Amino acid sequence: MPVIAVVNRKGGSGKSTLAAHIAAWCARNGSSVMLGDVDRQQSARAWLKRRDAALPPIAPWAVDQKNMLRVPTGITHVVLDTPGGMHGFELARVVMFADAIVMPVCNSMFDRESAQACHAELMSMPRVASGRCRLAVVGMRIDARTNAAQTLDEWSESLGVPFLGVLRETQLYVRSLERGLTIFDLQPQQAATDLAQWAPILQWLRPQLYPPQAANDGSTVLVPPTRTLAPKSAVLPKTVSEEVVSRHRGALPNSLMPAQESMVPGGRLSTLSAGRTPATPAKPVVKPTLARTTRTTDGPQIPQFLKRG
Ligand SMILES: Nc1ncnc2c1ncn2[C@@H]1O[C@H](COP(=O)(O)OP(=O)(O)OP(=O)(O)O)[C@@H](O)[C@H]1O
Ligand SMILES: [Mg+2]
């Protein structure tokens, strides 16, 4: 089950906008997709409530009898929207499960500096540094009359991160989202410029979301990724890798969202906080499989919605 996370610690950088669009694109492709907030704002959930039932469906988290958030049965693709300011354990928890991370970045010095710090933290995590979790940048809210796109492209290059292009600043996004729509739900002629801007982003995402189809997909690469991360076989210097793994060892989650219950109104306090969750050693990560629940020695069922291994 491919998991795409939209991450940037800078607030207002366009994470929810990007996440909603990626989920809507998956839905348009006929996939059973879930859009979930890792975010107490629950922006994605609020947006989904506005979405017309006649549109290709996007599921929210399911809430079980124990007020736990779970991936609903039958979901094949997961898109995670994340909060601004996310770092440390919260960020590591998302990275553990993400196959790819898209980072929306606006073009201001403040936005780039914040994104750079986020990128540095991501690269300190073996899954990202080794390329097991791919990372790319999308320029957000770009005014075509400026050199913002070029600035962001050069900035991404300086970091060695693929730059997938830009989305222009337009009220089309704002108005669409207010109606529970994305530009993928509009008539193509209404959003031709924006759909064209999405082409290289989707081109990059497609192999993550649809690996077999991508392998046989002879479609034209409109804008190939300009840079790649370290090859998948790359091995981090032992000292770095061990340092990072040991920093997270013992704090690795049984669930991506041990704090998830606190995100459900009325939910009881989580019994899955890092301190009380049985330590799980860092394991080489393989493809995610959906596991509904796991029984602990304490007895209660803990959701492991994206258990790997
Ligand atoms: N391409 C765009 N053109 C115009 N407005 C946009 C565009 N993308 C996003 N916006 C607007 O920018 C604002 C911030 O976007 P969004 O909520 O997606 O950011 P965010 O990173 O999720 O914010 P937060 O960190 O608060 O969760 C919203 O009002 C959104 O409608
Ligand atoms: Mg948001």
Q: Which protein residue has the closest C-alpha to ligand 1 atom 25?
A: 11
Measured in Å, residue 123 CA sits from the centre of ligand 2 at: 22
Q: Which atom of ligand 1 is nearest to the CA of 39?
A: 27
Q: Which residues line ligand 1 (CB under 6 A)?
A: 11-17, 41, 43, 83-84, 140-141, 167, 169-170, 173-174, 177
- Of residues 276 and 157, more confidence is placed in 157
**pLDDT given at position 213:** 54
Q: Which atom of ligand 1 is nearest to the CA of 168?
A: 1
For 304, residues 6+ apart whose C-beta sits below 8 A from its C-beta are: 254, 255, 291, 292, 293, 294
**pLDDT given at position 222:** 35
Residue where the block lists tokens 């192999």:
207
**pLDDT given at position 306:** 52
**pLDDT given at position 66:** 85
Q: Which atom of ligand 1 is nearest to the CA of 83?
A: 27
Kindly report, residue by residue over 74-104, the tens digit of the pLDDT: 999 999 999 999 999 999 999 999 999 999 9
Ligand nearest to the CA of 174: 1
Kindly report, residue by residue over 106-149, the tens digit of the pLDDT: 999 999 999 999 999 999 999 999 999 999 999 999 999 999 99
Q: Beta partners for 308?
A: 288
User: What is the reported pTM?
Assistant: 0.76
Measured in Å, residue 117 CA sits from the centre of ligand 2 at: 19
Report which listed range, 31-40, 156-165, 259-268, 283-292, is most confident.
Answer: 156-165
Query: Which residue segments constitute the domains of the chain, with CATH numbers given?
Result: 1-309 (3.40.50.300)
Q: Is the pLDDT of residue 305 over 90?
A: no
Ligand nearest to the CA of 142: 1
Which sign, positive or negative, has the C-alpha torsion 203, 205, 210, 211? positive
Ligand nearest to the CA of 13: 1
What is the DSSP annotation of 144-181? Answer: TTSSHHHHHHHHHHHHT--EEEEEE--HHHHHHHHTT-
> How far is it, in rounded angstroms, from Cα 111 to Cα 10?
6
Please report which residue ranges of the chain form alpha helices under DSSP H. Answer: 15-28, 43-50, 88-97, 109-123, 126-129, 148-159, 171-178, 192-209, 211-216, 238-248
For 229, residues 6+ apart whose C-beta sits below 8 A from its C-beta are: 128, 129, 131, 134, 135, 160, 161, 162
For 66, residues 6+ apart whose C-beta sits below 8 A from its C-beta are: 261, 300, 301
In Å, what is the CA distance from 212 to each residue of 207, 223, 299?
8, 21, 39
Report which listed range, 40-54, 144-158, 285-299, is most confident.
Answer: 144-158
Measured in Å, residue 198 CA sits from the centre of ligand 2 at: 19
Measured in Å, residue 126 CA sits from the centre of ligand 1 at: 30
Q: Beta partners for 34?
A: 59, 78
